Structure 1
Amino acid sequence: MLTQQELKQNAAQAAVDYILPMLRTDVIVGVGTGSTADLFIDGLAMHKERFRGAVSSSDRSSARLSALGVRVFDLNDVQTMPVYVDGADEIDAGLHMIKGGGGALTREKIVASVAERFVCIVDESKLVQKLGRFPLPVEVIPMARAAVARELVRLGGQPVLREGFVTDNGCEILDVAGLAIAQPEQLEAAINNIPGVVTCGLFAIAGADIALMSTQDGVRELRAPR
């Protein structure tokens, strides 16, 4: 029986193997944030001579990349990337995701938007029939925290401030439990339209293109329905 750490390692290695054919000396890779992304960074760094560098979604990932000798680029200096690789807190069969357990949801969404392909790396425990068991992170401008929380209650949620946490953007996170996410695209749009919200952790309007899901029987490749 593989441990969860071993499952994460297998997913990360599968992502490295998946993107190796894309690597060239002029290629920049998009890299996410989190425990599985950390393992991907470690594997990717072993091939650092084969690509130009990376753009990351957090200061944490940037520091890890730099420490391993991978050149980190500012996204403003990058026009396109062939791939963005990141984990998820939950993912459904349509490859809609909840992300942001590590608090990097806004930068994750931005970096992913510049990449041609989003590859999600997860272990099988993250696959759900319906999103919402994991509280939905919502990044908010601090002065709007209470106003946004009231609107999230009206949507059926139970928002709780993530105490003592500040995002890399200088904002705060409300973790919202109790949401019935039957239509993730519509809920993502509704929450993102609340004044004071930077973004929410639903990645449904633009979900993953491919998920590499590590199971006890190996790594499965899931593709978004078209």
Structure 2
Amino acid sequence: MLLNIETATKNCSVSLSKNGVLLSFKELNTGNYTHAEMLHPFIKQLLDEANIGFNDLSAIAVGKGPGSFTGLRIGVSAAKGLCFALNIPLIAIDSLSILAHTKQIDKGFIIPLLDARRMEVYTSVYSPNFVQIAPIEAVILNENSFANYLDQAPVFFLGDGVEKFKPICKHPNAIFEIDAFPSATQMANLSYLKYKKNDIEDVAYFEPFYLKDFFILKAKTI
């Protein structure tokens, strides 16, 4: 039994899976970050409803980012704490791949866009069978962004970063889906494949994939 945790965006999401099959999930996206309040209760509810205990878990998978600094810290800290206490493996999955798996297409490209503030997004590019064909990077959007893909085939843009790109992208091959978020419901098979290959992290040293440095702005004195 695997516990999957995804907190890279405002969607607080957890699921239970077995042998790559989703068994149950809890998630909440109110437009605010509820992770600190809801993550641990969601985990307990899932286990209680499945009539299992923490000792029945074989591993824990977590969305490693990129995404919200606060959300990632909460999710990764919870996953690491449980793995350390239970002495079970930690599995990490990039959150853009998780988001890409929310969309099924026959042709074209899937481009997840996660908000990185201002006109910047975290992004990558995936084929219809979810092969990553471009590196994960932070991109400053303009009207010509992703033109090389848009000129070839339909492109499905997913995620909270779509709100920034849709007003400036007028290409006829662009298809926008704003209400898509990385979800633990999409992690069942991804985490199982990594578990079978023993593709696990060092619990003591694992950190979220922030991609960008985290800055704390000090209040100005008047």
Which structure dedicates a bigger proportion of its chain to helix?
A: 1
Of structures 1 and 2, the larger Rg is shown by 2
**TM-score (ref. length: structure 2):** 0.31
